[in-house]
Structure 1
Amino acid sequence: MNCNKHYNGFIFTEIMMSFSLIIVLSLTIIPIFYQLTTEQMNLYYRREIHSYLHDHLIARPFTNTDTNHETFMVKQVTVNINYTFESPLWKGCASWKNEKNQNETICLFYYPTD
């Protein structure tokens, strides 16, 4: 019986070390996981907006040289698209605020084959 009392301090120290290791690991993994999910959403928005802009540049009937404006939504993000004529190309630029609340812009050019 007397022998077990000598190990009480060791068990307490072992529990504290295990607990502190779990805390340190969780405090490092949670911000990394948050950063990964934020970047994943930013890449999703870029991909969807880029695809939308590409498809509409090709399918849109450009008949005049005026500036055209369009707005659409990707999930909860509002995207503004401006089409301008820069001879001999049409330029389409999409701008939006990403998950980090920073402004992003993607521009594509289209050469009409009339």
Structure 2
Amino acid sequence: MWKNKQGYILIETMISCTLLFTCIMTISPILSLLNKERMLLSERIHYVHYLHDMIQPLLFEGITPKDMSIELEDAFVTFTYEENLIKGCVNWKNAKRVQEEICLYGYPVR
């Protein structure tokens, strides 16, 4: 009348552990990739805001830079005047150690 169910419990435990470890091994690289991409976007936003704040006085004060360069601790900012436009670019190495460049253009106020 009493049956031995020890083998059934062992197989059930092994299957549940396998499913749990499979989920963990799938989710952890995805979370790592999401964090790295979040850091990349955060850097881009930071440098675009910095470049925007630097280019605004040049646009509204009517200053026309002749190849002005600023070196930061981890980035390089350049301003040039091209065809009635002020071009501001920032270069840096991102979280993936890839050289990245973002440029903003603006018409000076006259």
Bin of the TM-score, shorter chain as denominator length: 0.7 to 0.9
Pair 1:101-2:102 in alignment: no
Indicate conservation of the 8 Å contact 2:75/2:92, yes or no. Answer: yes
The one of the two structures with greater contact order (alpha-carbon pairs below 8 A, sep at least 6) is 2
Residue aligning to 2:109: 113
Distance (Å, rounded) in 1 between the aligned partners of 2:62 and 2:75: 21
| Structure 2 residue matching 1:112: 3-state secondary structure | coil
- Show structure 1 runs of 4+ deviating over 2 A: 60-66
Residue deviations 1:6-59, cap 9 Å, x none? 211111111111111111000111001001111111111111110110111012
Aligned length: 108
| Structure 2 residue matching 1:100: 3-state secondary structure | coil
Residue deviations 1:86-107, cap 9 Å, x none? 1211111111111111121110
Counting aligned pairs with the same residue, the percent is 33
Query: Structure 2: 5+ residue runs without aligned partners?
Result: none
Distance (Å, rounded) in 2 between the aligned partners of 1:100 and 1:81: 20
Distance (Å, rounded) in 2 between the aligned partners of 1:72 and 1:41: 19
Q: CA deviation at 1:66?
A: 2.2
Change (3 A) 1:47 1:33: same
RMSD: 1.9
Query: Structure 1: 5+ residue runs without aligned partners?
Result: none
